[in-house]
Amino acid sequence: AHIGTPGNERADELAKIAAANTNTSPHYTKIPLSYVKRKIREESVRKWQDRYLTSETGQITKIFFPDVGMAYALMDYPEYPICSAGMMLKKEPRGPLDHIINAFVEFLAITKADQIVAQNTCQQILQAWEMDNTGLLKVRLEAAEASLYDNNTQKNILGIESGDHMKAYSATYGLVDRIEEESRMSGSPPPQKFKVPQDDPVVVIARCTRIMLNEKIQERAKTIAGNNDELLELWDVPIFTWVNGVPGCGKTTWIVNNFDPVSDVVTTTTTEAAKDLRERLTPKVGKDAKIKVRTMASILANGLSEPTRSKCKRLIVDEALMNHFGAIIMATKLVGADVTLLIGDKNQLPYIDRNNLFQIRYNRPNTVARVNKELLCTHRNPMDVAYALSEVYEGIYSSKSRAKSQELRNYTGSRIPKDTDNTLYLTHTQGEKETLKAEGYGSGKDSRVNTIHEAQGATFEEVIIVRTTSKKIELHDSVSHAVVAVSRHTSSCTYYSDDKSDAIAYFISKAMSATTAEIREHNIKMAIKNGDETVLSANLTQKHM
């Protein structure tokens, strides 16, 4: 009945009668069921919130969603599902714009999560030290390649970590910056000093604090995305072009030959690559080479200054696939480019999330970019490398005159040379690398020991690959790792392993089983297929000698 509504006087009368006849105690103690349910729900949520915040798991998710109710609600969010890092991704990208937004968001999630992992790693080291747990402290220091460092004496208390570090970790102040004046001194590297008071000098320096640009990258991202990502939907999708090249094809030479001094900017993965490219571009652009060639980390952290930014039309990304695609998108927006030229090798090692924090879905450009040009001639490797890798790279061939260069030997019982010059020693894992270095490998002039992943892009006269254990791990069957390993040399490559069934052994065995004539014949056919008259002429001359 609609009490009080004109025309419903009968309802009013019945309501008054019911109220007068209600036999209710003046001390009414009944509580509405809805109130009870609400209180139970509130108490339950409070308990779950306490458990959520005190749990040792889900540390990354809690950074993004400190409220358990929000984290739970977003699990079924219809438009933007929650990824493992707690970031918001388009559920099903409807087009290129959605894909590049997702790549950008995923990259920032990794950037933020990496910083949290670094902080937690250093914090756990300090906790072990404060508990005076020597055994646990030693394990954590070794795992993190870290040291306890006295900022007053500028010496290690415990651990062997050395080198330059952008930051250190303090129990009181968290991540602290290095005092810049110390790092700018000329000559030999000075002792490191960090921004902590003298009465609280103990900090942790570790592998993860050597380069720490995470906060700067996150702040720089706001300049193109907005404080609340409100600018993302307004982005224009760049035009993507992709030059795919086999190992040693001369990708750097191609960049130099096709570089526009006015409208191009190049980004590289490493400082060594940037230095090399600047030297080669200096005759073309002069002192502007330092501005025009930047590392990816530098662009992401610092952007691009005017007037270079307003003139930039194209961003050239060297070794593009070693970067997360979201980083490439961010760099493109920061430099103001309309075109993104990807230079890389789709069969070599891709971007790897070293902390393996959550499933990566948008690290590659394949969805929005296609290969426009293939560079199939290797100017680094002998012919047998091209022959061995022909099932990975269709049409690959070599401009080198040497036909045979690879060998497979047992690890057990072999006397592996340790001090040869210009030799790259390769291992699958960091543990094997440290073992070889401790035993004196790589002591020759211009020689070094690297993991296969670290060696991508390197060129050495001799390469020695060492697998110290026959126990197989996933890396041993990685085709991408094998491709990098067998394609670093100009003269010879020897693989020492007791297991002849892994990916590296497969490629080397294929090369060893072929005759010199078969290898030369394959090279001639591929040179003909690619219309390379220079290589064809040289091969035919050798064939008839």
Average pLDDT over residues 469-488: 94
Spatial CA neighbour of 425 closest among 466, 380, 486:
466
Read out DSSP for 251-284? HHHHHHHT--TTTEEEEESSHHHHHHHHHHHHHH
Question: What are the structure tokens assigned to 314, written together?
Answer: 């194209």
d(CA 381, CA 21): 102
Nearest to 116 by CA among 35, 214, 37, 39: 214
**pLDDT tens digits for 308-348?**
899 999 999 999 999 999 999 999 999 999 999 999 998 88
Contact 311, 217 (CB under 8 A): no
> In CATH terms, is domain 378-543 a member of 3.40.50.300?
yes
Please state the φ and ψ torsions of residue 293, each to the nearest 5 degrees: -120, 115
Rounded CA-CA distance 257/252 in Å is: 9
The whole-angstrom separation of Cα 197 and Cα 199 is 5
Distance of CA 218 to the CA centre of its chain: 16
- Split at pLDDT 50, 70, 90, the class of 449 is very high
In CATH terms, 238-375 corresponds, of 3.40.50.300, 3.40.50.410, 3.40.50.1100, 3.90.660.10, to 3.40.50.300
Do residues 458 and 413 touch, judged by C-beta distance below 8 A?
no
User: Residue 330: what pLDDT?
Assistant: 98
Q: Where are the alpha helices (DSSP H) in 336-473?
A: 383-388, 430-438
CA distance 103 to 347: 21
Q: Quick one: three-class SS letters along 67-103?
A: CHHHHHHHHHCCCCCECCCCCECCCCCCCHHHHHHHH
For residue 159, the one-letter residue type is G
Q: Write down the pLDDT at residue 160.
A: 80
The answer on pLDDT for 426 being more than 60 is yes
- On the question of a common fold for 238-375 and 378-543, the answer reads yes
3-state secondary structure of 450: strand
Q: pLDDT per residue over 346-356, tens digit each?
A: 888 878 777 77
Residue 5: pLDDT above 60?
A: no
Q: What's the mean pLDDT in 176-180?
A: 88
Please report the pLDDT score of residue 423 as a whole number: 97
The predicted pLDDT at position 457 comes to 82
Residue 229 half-sphere exposure, CB side, CA atoms within 13 Å?
11
pLDDT level of residue 20 (50, 70, 90 thresholds): low
CA-wise closest residue to 430 among 411, 458, 452: 452
Tokens of 484: 């990098």
Q: What is the pLDDT of residues 56-86, one digit of tens each?
A: 565 555 555 566 655 554 444 444 444 444 4
Q: Which of 61, 119, 109 is nearest to 327 (CA)?
A: 109
Q: How far is CA 436 from CA 206, 414, 466, 502, in A?
A: 21, 14, 9, 21
Report the C-alpha gap between 311 and 255 in whole angstroms: 19
What span, in angstroms and rounded, lies between the C-alpha atoms of 303 and 297?
A: 10
Residue where the block lists tokens 């700067």: 216
Distance between CA 239 and CA 314 in Å, rounded? 9
Identity of residue 221: A
Mean confidence (pLDDT) of the chain: 86
What single letter denotes the amino acid at residue 42? E
Task: Provide the token pair at 508.
Answer: 């080397």
147-150 and 202-205 beta bridge pairing: antiparallel
Other beta carbons within 10 Å of 123: 14
pLDDT value at position 164?
85
Q: DSSP 3-state assignment of 46?
A: helix
pLDDT computed for residue 312 by the predictor: 96
- Both tokens of 298, joined, read 């530098």
| DSSP reduced 3-state for 105 | helix
Walk across the sheet containing 174-177 and list its strands: 155-159, 147-150, 202-205, 167-170, 174-177
- Express as a percent the part of the chain with pLDDT over 90: 63
d(C-alpha 111, C-alpha 353), whole Å: 10
Q: Is the pLDDT of residue 200 over 80?
A: yes
Report domain extents, the chain. Answer: 114-214, 238-375, 378-543
Least confident stretch, 49-53, 81-85, 436-440, 535-539: 81-85
The number of helices, as runs of H, and strands, as runs of E, in the chain is: 20, 18
Question: Does the N-terminal peptide bond of residue 96 adopt cis geometry, omega within 30 degrees of 0?
Answer: no
Phi, psi of 6 (to 5 degrees): -55, 135
pLDDT, position 272: 84
pLDDT of residue 93: 76
Q: Is the Cα torsion angle 200, 206, 212, 214 positive or negative in sign?
A: negative
What are 180's strand-pairing partners?
none
Q: How many Cα atoms within 13 Å fall on the side-chain side of residue 22?
A: 11
Residue 115 or residue 508, greater confidence:
508
pLDDT (0 to 100) of residue 360? 84
Name the pLDDT band for 542 (thresholds 50, 70, 90): confident
Q: Token digits for 163?
A: 């080198």
Residue 4 has what pLDDT? Answer: 54
User: What angle is formed at CA 169 by the lines to CA 165 and CA 175, rounded to 5 degrees?
Assistant: 90
Mean pLDDT of the 192-209 span: 92
* pLDDT (tens digit per residue) in 513-533: 999 999 999 999 999 999 999
Q: How far apart are CA 309 and CA 333, in angstroms?
A: 10
Residues 6+ apart with CB under 8 A from 425: 436, 441, 442, 447, 448, 449, 450, 463, 464, 465, 466
pLDDT range class, residue 399, cuts 50, 70, 90: very high
pLDDT surpasses 70 at 6: no
